[in-house]
Chains A and B, each alone.
Chain A
Amino acid sequence: MAISRRVFLQSSIVGGAALSAFGFDVAPVLAQAKTLKISRTSETRSTCPYCSVSCGVIIHTLGDRSKNAVAQVVHVEGDPDHPINRGTLCPKGASLQQDILNDRRLLKPQVRRPGSDRWEDIDWDTAVDEIGRAVKKTRDATFIEKDVRGRTVNRCEGIAWTGGCTDTNELNYLVVKTMRSLGVVNLENQARV
């Protein structure tokens, strides 16, 4: 009897514990082969960062997170327990692994100096020093304690913070805490547009 590979696989899967054309049960072997890829991974529950449906995703990483063991993402899939997406993902959610492991990611702080035509590397300490200095200079130059009518306003109109759409609530809270205390009024977010 001629049997194609496709029919063979179908019969063995549909047959479950039934005996296949080989006369022995291949189902356990198939089951093991199917789970192998993620059988030793850590599963991290997360939320897709794209639209607002908030599909639950499971990020599978290899490496047990012990000291000196660097975890690496090997698979991302929809969370079947999530009541909204029930394991499904769209073409964007389905490619999240390539968003996490992407060779276009920025890896080092950089600076473009006035008049320059290129990026230069800068270490974190220097970058933070320079930025802190720039913020203070701009704030001190543009801070208004009282407006023209003598009313207390304590605002800084020279600095703007524009925040992104995947900033968590906790980050946004930290932004409010720090920026409002600097007197920043030019505070906006993707939420506006």
Chain B
Amino acid sequence: MTNGWIDIKNTDLMLIMGGNPAENHPCGFKWPIEAKLHRNAKIIVVDPRFTRTAANADLFLQIRAGADIAFLGGLINYAIQNNRIARDYLVNYTNAAFIIKEGFKLPEDGLYSGFDPSTHEYDKSTWNYEAAGSSGRGNAPAALPPNVAYDVTLAHSRSVFQLLKQHYSRYTPEMVERITGIARDQFLKAADLFTSVRKDGDMKKVATIIYAVGWTQHSFGTQIIRTAAMLQLLLGNVGRAGGGVNALRGHSNIQGATDMAGVFDILPGYLKMPAPDDVDFATYLKRTTPTASKPAEWDSYNYWSNTPKFAVSFLKALYGEAARKENDWAFHYLPKIDRKYSWVEIWDDMYNGHVRGMFAFGMNGVQVGPNSKKNIEALKKADWLVVGEIYPDETSEFWRAPGTTPDEMKKIQTTVYRLPCAGFAEKDGTFVNSARWLQWKNIAITPPGDAKLDQEILSLIFLKIRELYQKEGGKFPDPIVNLAWNYTDPLHRSFVELAKEINGRALADIADPTGQTIRSGQQLPGFAALKDDGTTLCGNWLYSGSWTEAGAMTQRRGTEDPSGLGIYPNWAWSWPANRRVMYNRASCDPSGKPWDPERRQVWWNESGRWVGNDVPDFKVDSPPKDHMGPFIMNPEGIGRLFGPLAAFQDGPFPEYYEPIESPIANPLHPAQSINPVVQTFKTPLDKYGTPSQGFNVVCTTYRLTEHYHYWTKNNPMNVELVPEPFVEVPVELADEMGVKGGERVKVSSARGSYIAKAMVTRRIKPMQIDGRKTYQIGIPIHWGYRGIAEDAGRTELTSANLLSPTAIDPNAYTPEFKGFLVKIEKA
């Protein structure tokens, strides 16, 4: 979330789409209700199903799963056509005024300029700003120009604003209706309501957009979220209390897992992974440290210019004394990558025999899918699997998945270790919630039986590996034997030491930015104190400030909220630097005064500093006249309506593409129906269905209030609440099939089948998609082949992700769990 849970109470309008917080975040949904009750805020819900969130909406629209970009693009078009945009915000805080190079082409035919059909990739050199003073032609190197040509009248035909206007002019209400299934008059009602916050040039009102994995789990998920962000920039809603683009994460520490780089493509704090062409540390820093790119008269903080400080401090945290200036801070201890190793690719590589061993700690990969059958087959080819879990799960028992014969089992040569881990109440440490709050939890009891803490198990295994390399040598032992492990408790039974290391400490006496001395060994006050000369150590710069000399900020429990805006500055700690609303400089007009005096977050004080109720997300002494942009993490300092160069793989503006499996050809460009750079896979198990093969029902997957992923199926109370799997089937479809509620149905995709009882419902209505009657069905994901109901024989032992396709978003590599094609029959 750019904002936070409580901040939702400050809004005037909510668009909730791609998420169902009333059912999936029930205790957070009190804040939308608070806004409704106390600010008379309106709620628009757009969803394939009439959910309990929809039941609280002022306006509900049923959309075809996956058609979101068409709807949001239609809103952008409506806002521009009806002049319901925040012009000052747009000109000063976004790249609307920037001029784009000549040669850039919009995708009328579904393709931007630079597409190479042989590689299915774009040459993105035309997706760039024009350098000031240049002709706009010529082949400048593929870097952002330091001095950008711009036109604050927004009239230039190659200005971002004019290109944006032209691009989304194709997203007419008629086109929106054909693609999404939302009737034209309903769409116009929603468009009028959403953009009403900018009626007659008023800047006081604020709208928020709230979403969840209903937006991310598509072969164009990143671009859905981007369309929302652009809409919010266009309306001047970002950085403001009650505004923003707010991702509701589905798990307790998904935000933290990303911040801490539990994923292949980054290092902690969103540092970039080294690549083979980074021949030394200086080359890596040159590639990954951006330089400012802006109009000459404007200023840009370009905060990522601090990358060298973050990177050196991280390497010092990893390798301690072994990371020295002379050996490039042990830079070559880190692996270098030049291709993707994302979730679906790991399973593909295991299926193809390249990944030979896997650790799965609290991660049930068979159930997670997509295409669960492929993951099961992949595990059969592995040498070993180490599962750390608290309950028996499908992944650890892949070798006896339903349908495996005794003969087949004998042929499965994988050794599987299943290690009993600790539950949440048995471990300390921090989770990061959706609002970016780091909150420390304490140990309540010890793990049962012989179970051990996860970190204890990992430490034992690592120290064993280290011992083997010390004794026997082996391939490149240096990073293993030199990893800094000088901990008081080498097994980390409490996480205090690691939490302090993540925050960072001084390794010599240093001066902090205010001139105070930080003594060697002291905790750092925040990331502004980090150095690139090896005198500081920091596991993750983004969390620096979370455990200072004053103690654990993440354990704070101050319940005061002086501004009344729900900031709670003394409760726990929020990254970055304890600020609660990101980009909050944009809550003020260019002269530094809040757009809405009733909701004052930060402001320019005539004494010469930015001050306020929240921590300013800005250079605190930069006066408004310098025109420094509020989006300090972008080298331009502004919000990007146009994503230049390689910011996105599939286009600088989002374009609507059909899901990989779709009931229709894309009405915008039937010849380029799907995302041209989408990645699919090629093993015999990677099958994709078409309507002509009989797969003509759109299927979506989701969670229930009473269950959490593949976990609470082990909890008697939750199983009692919702004891069995089911499939939500529209009444009309059930009638056509002759199926009554409670009778069994079989849902099949090109990849597998799922059998459960039908729950016949009016919550999903038949739709008209491009003039054709189209049905959608929905499947809750919570069941598999181990669990209370499963073990009692009350289910068919099928998993929802036996159905979902192996296709991934080209930017975030998230699979398309929503909006794939199935057929459904009586079982």
Contact = CB atoms under 8 A, between A and B. Distances in A.
Interface stretch (A3-11, A17-25, A29-37, A178-186): A178-186
A85 B26 CA distance: 9
Contacts of A88: 26-27, 30
A181 B349 CA distance: 21
Nearest to A88: B27
A170 B430 contact: yes
A110 B250 contact: no
B495 A168 contact: yes
A115 B257 contact: no
A189 interface: yes
A100 B425 contact: yes
Given A71-B444, A151-B279, A163-B362, A188 B434 contact: no
Nearest to A139: B475
Interface stretch (B67-75, B476-484, B770-778): B476-484
A100 B25 CA distance: 21
A169 B260 contact: yes
Given A162-B358, A191-B257, A91 B718 contact: yes
B391 A131 contact: no
Given A90-B26, A190-B254, A154 B336 contact: yes
B389 A106 contact: yes
Contact of A109 (B217, B259, B419, B721): B419
Interface string B400-430: 1000001001111111111111011111111
B715 interface: yes
B221 to A, nearest CB: 11
A92 B718 contact: yes
B462 interface: yes
B454 A104 contact: no
B526 to A, nearest CB: 17
Given A88-B30, A188-B346, A98 B465 contact: no
Contact of A188 (B262, B438, B502): B262
A151 B338 CA distance: 11
Instruction: For chain B, give the interface size range.
Output: 35 or more
Given A46-B444, A128-B461, A171-B429, A52 B361 contact: no
B247 to A, nearest CB: 9
Contacts, number: 470
A28 interface: no
A193 B428 CA distance: 25
Given A91-B721, A176-B260, A50 B429 contact: no
B448 A105 contact: yes
A32 B437 CA distance: 37
B335 A185 contact: yes
A166 B468 contact: no
Given A93-B27, A105-B451, A164-B363, A47 B495 contact: no
A51 interface: yes
B420 A185 contact: no
B439 interface: yes
Interface string B438-464: 110111111011111011001111101
A45 B721 CA distance: 27
Given A53-B434, A83-B571, A163 B391 contact: no
B537 interface: no
Contact of A168 (B430, B450, B474): B430
Nearest to B817: A193
B115 interface: no
A78 B716 CA distance: 20
B468 A163 contact: no
A80 to B, nearest CB: 10
Nearest to A182: B480
A64 interface: no
Interface of A: 44-56, 59, 61, 70-73, 78, 81, 83-86, 88-96, 98-100, 102, 104-117, 119, 122, 124, 127-136, 138-143, 145, 147, 149, 151-178, 180-193
Given A91-B718, A110-B418, A191-B251, 4 more contacts: A49-B424, A88-B26, A95-B717, A133-B468
